[in-house]
Structure 1
Amino acid sequence: MTEPIPAAVAETYFAALGRGDIPTVMAQFSDDVLWHQPGAHQFSGDHHGVAGVGALLSGMMEASAGSFQLAVAGPPMVNGDVVAVPVRFSGNSAEATMDMAGIDLLTVRGGKIVEVRLFSEDGPAEDAFWGLN
């Protein structure tokens, strides 16, 4: 059996994320995935492993009172095992609203996401939304 190509793994990941299918989202990650969250807010920094990424995503949903959403905003761009996906993400909290474009960069090896790097169009606004460290 051949392993899924990186674009297919990314497609499965984002489709599951859009449906709120967290078990399928988490199944796309390698056990030792490394997630790089940009910025200077409470969620910034490196998050290791499925448990670390799960805690990050759960924390973001809690901080946004379940309002955080991410949608694919354009076709994926593939270079070997790296997939760049334009996204739009938004959320609401008691203190702020966020709605901006970004790029999610996924490295896929062995049919699993091994690394995630995120880029936001307005880092200071994202920091303000999530709450500075």
Structure 2
Amino acid sequence: MSEQTPAVVATTYFDALGRGDMPTVMAQFDEAVVWHQPGANRFSGDHAGIGGVGALLGGMMETSQGTFQLSVAGPAMVNGEFVAVPVRFSGRRDDVSMDMAGVDLLTVRDGKIVEVHLFSEDGAAEDDFWGRP
């Protein structure tokens, strides 16, 4: 089996995320993945390993009452092992909602996502949505 390029891994990841196919999403991560969540909210900081990332994503779905959605908003930009993808993400819980643009930067090595950096259009609004610690 040939190695998956960073672009193919990113496409597989985002397509699965859009379908809610979490087993395929999680299969794209390296066992030692590090996810850097921006901001000053309950989810901010570094989350390590598949277990840590899985707990983060599960917590976001729970907090958003299952409404969190992320979609690709433009073409992926590849520079070696880095893949930057413009995204749009939204969610609603109780009387609070968010809907904004962002960029997800994936680092892909040996066919797996080893690192994720996220960038949000409005960090303060995202913090308000997720809830400050």
Q: TM-score over 0.5 for the alignment?
A: yes
1:132 aligns with 2:132: yes
Q: What secondary structure, in the 3-state scheme, does the structure 2 residue paired with 1:58 have?
A: helix
Q: Which runs of 4+ in 1 moved over 3 A?
A: none
Q: Distance in 2 between matches of 1:109 and 1:8?
A: 12
Q: Structure 2: which 5+ runs fail to align?
A: none
What corresponds to 2:119 in structure 1?
119
Q: CA deviation at 1:111?
A: 0.1
Q: CA deviation at 1:125?
A: 0.2
Q: Distance in 2 between matches of 1:95 and 1:54?
A: 26
TM-score (norm 2): 0.99
What corresponds to 1:36 in structure 2?
36
Q: Distance in 2 between matches of 1:32 and 1:67?
A: 28
Contact persistence 1:38–1:45 (CA under 8 A): yes
Q: Distance in 2 between matches of 1:94 and 1:2?
A: 47
Q: Which amino acid aligns with 2:81?
A: D
Q: CA deviation at 1:2?
A: 2.1
TM-score (norm 1): 0.99
What corresponds to 2:24 in structure 1?
24
Q: Distance in 1 between matches of 2:127 and 2:50?
A: 24
Contact persistence 1:107–1:116 (CA under 8 A): yes
Q: CA deviation at 1:21?
A: 0.2
What corresponds to 1:14 in structure 2?
14
Q: Distance in 2 between matches of 1:23 and 1:103?
A: 23
User: Percent identity, aligned pairs only?
Assistant: 72
Q: Distance in 2 between matches of 1:15 and 1:44?
A: 25
Q: CA deviation at 1:71?
A: 0.1
